[in-house]
Amino acid sequence: MTQFSRLGTLAPLAALLWFGAAPAALAAPPESCPATLQHTYPRLQDEKPQSLCQYSGKVVLVVNTASFCGFTGQYKGLEELHARYKDKGLVVLGFPSNDFSQETGSNQQIADFCENTFGVKFPMFAKSVVTGPEASPLFRQLAQMSGPPRWNFHKYLLGRDGKLVDSYTSLTAPDSKSLVRAIEQQLAVAPNR
């Protein structure tokens, strides 16, 4: 009898841990992660891969962003939303994009701008395509549900179950009553355990 055979059904996990499996192998299993979050994107600051499954059970606000847009000031409001509601289960996810020719910097330049200008602490991901046939898988899914972003700072609100609750144009500020009310309603829903 080997040291792993005595562990029974835990043997595969024990083997992964014993032989130093990559953390991605230990991520939340797909059945507990909504389809909308079953994606991995590089983090903006260091381009390390991040599974969106880590946000399962949270209320998620997905936003395509840009540094040189008339709506760029919304970073401040998004950070305020994130800070105000993060302990209650909200996460804001920012996806910089140059689809509208207003995000020309490198990932590091974008990260520095967001932190230095607006104090952004919510999760930001590497610059990506958010519209058209080359859109990232997450934005393709969101577009199928409610249409693609028509401009920067388009917002998609996902409930704790990962389902789309609503989407908001760039004209909807982060502190708008309709958006805040929808977020609070979703936060009131108990997370599945």
| Per-domain residue ranges of the chain | 1-27, 33-187
The per-residue pLDDT for 32 is: 87
- Please choose, from the candidates 60, 28, 54, the residue with its C-alpha nearest in 3D space to the C-alpha of residue 41: 54
Instruction: Give the mean pLDDT of the chain.
Output: 87
Helix (H, G, I), strand (E, B) or coil at 102: coil
* pTM for the predicted model, two decimal places: 0.84
Class of domain 33-187: alpha beta
Position 30 scores a pLDDT of 58
Q: Residue 192: which pLDDT band, with cuts at 50, 70 and 90?
A: confident
| Structure confidence at residue 14 as a pLDDT band (50, 70, 90) | very low
Q: Please tell me the least confidently modeled range out of 23-37, 46-60, 77-91, 168-182.
A: 23-37
What residues contact 165, with CB distance under 8 A and at least 6 apart? 157, 158, 159, 182, 186
Asked if 53 is an active-site residue, the reply is: no
Q: What is the per-residue pLDDT for 6?
A: 38
Give the rounded percent of residues in the chain with a pLDDT score beyond 70.
83
| Exposure b/e, 127-157, CB count within 10 A at least 16 = b | bbbbbeeebbebbbbbbeeeebbebbbbbbb
**Residue 12, pLDDT above cutoff 50:** no
Q: Which residues 6+ apart lie within 8 Å of 49 measured at CB?
A: 24, 40, 41, 42, 43
| The one catalytic residue among 33, 53, 69, 114 | 69
Paired strand residues for 60: 91, 158
* pLDDT(138) > 80: yes
Which alpha helices (DSSP H) does 88-155 contain, by range? 107-118, 137-146
The bridge status of strand 90-96 relative to strand 59-65 is parallel
In which element (H, E) is residue 165 found? strand 164-168
